[in-house]
Amino acid sequence: MPNRRDFMIHSGSAVAAMAILPSEVLARTVGFAAPVNVGIIGVGRQGRSMLAELQKFSDVTIKAICDTYPARLSAGERRARGATAYADHRELLDKGGCDAVIIATPTHLHKQIAIDAMQAGKHVYCEGPLAHTVEDCVEIAQAARAHDKVFQVGLQGRANPVYTLAWTFYRSDSVRDNVLMRGQAARKTSWRFPVSDSSFEKAMNWRLDPAVSLGLAGEWGTQQFDVFHWYRSRYPTRVSGSGTIQLHKDGREIADTITA
């Protein structure tokens, strides 16, 4: 059962992680000779979703994919015909022939993969939240500044035209006294996934591991916290919250219900 201290540790890290690098970090116009060759590192649900979106563009080629879990790598291969499959991201970076990579791995793996990719001369789009700890975020930021490549964190609100329109309205001084901003999310998922090989159980269910999981506040709340930060252009001065296990009585230590 998580206590309040554990909840605040996970939540505080999440807010800091999303705030270190906004989407504008090193953003600049980059000229590519079409097509752009892209590698996707992590072809779970999110990675495969982005793969499907990229396939809609005629000037993008999915050159390589990578995943450490064989079943997901096979699923990625079926969707990315012609892409070379790798089980190690370093091999993809060395041999994949990619101009840019998308990182859609578990959050705690982002730092090393992102730094390796930038050192290999790749442009990087990294799924949010950026990283597992503030220290990891800082290291990624330092690497991004040291390399002349585009690095962007994927935060959903910033890519949503509805949110952009609302931001324009909000920043036009149409809202005089902001007294409350609220975000909420509910999803029918236990965060526990079946695996065909028991040796992958911990790696696949990493969101339930207190040592590496940012919990609901980090893995889902990051997107909403970022919208608040984007609209207000300021950081919170105080944070309070609580979390508990209400639904999934399976021995987990990560809260399945939170408020903050």
> CATH number, domain at 112?
3.40.50.720
Contacts 24+ apart (CB under 8 A), 73-81: 73/43, 75/43, 75/48, 76/40, 76/43, 76/47, 76/48, 76/51, 79/43, 79/48, 79/51, 79/52, 80/40, 80/43, 80/51, 80/55
Confidence (pLDDT) at 31: 56
Domain that holds residue 117: 23-154
- pLDDT at 239 exceeding the cut of 70: yes
Confidence (pLDDT) at 30: 52
Q: What b-and-e string marks burial along 43-53, b requiring 16 or more CB atoms within 10 Å of the CB?
A: bbeebbebbee
Last residue within a domain, chosen from 123, 154, 185: 154
* 132 and 73 in a common domain: yes
* 139 and 29 in a common domain: yes
* 130 and 33 in a common domain: yes
* 43 and 128 in a common domain: yes
- pLDDT at 24 exceeding the cut of 80: no
- pLDDT at 13 exceeding the cut of 70: no
- pLDDT at 104 exceeding the cut of 70: yes
Structurally, how many domains does the chain consist of? Answer: 2
* 103 and 38 in a common domain: yes
Count, residues in the chain: 260
Contacts 24+ apart (CB under 8 A), 80-84: 80/40, 80/43, 80/51, 80/55
Q: Is residue 171 part of a domain?
A: no
- pLDDT at 73 exceeding the cut of 50: yes
To the nearest whole number, what is the mean pLDDT of the chain? Answer: 86
Q: Is residue 159 part of a domain?
A: no
Least confident span in 49-53, 99-103, 126-130, 220-224: 220-224
Confidence (pLDDT) at 75: 95
Confidence (pLDDT) at 54: 94
* 226 and 125 in a common domain: no
Q: Is residue 58 part of a domain?
A: yes
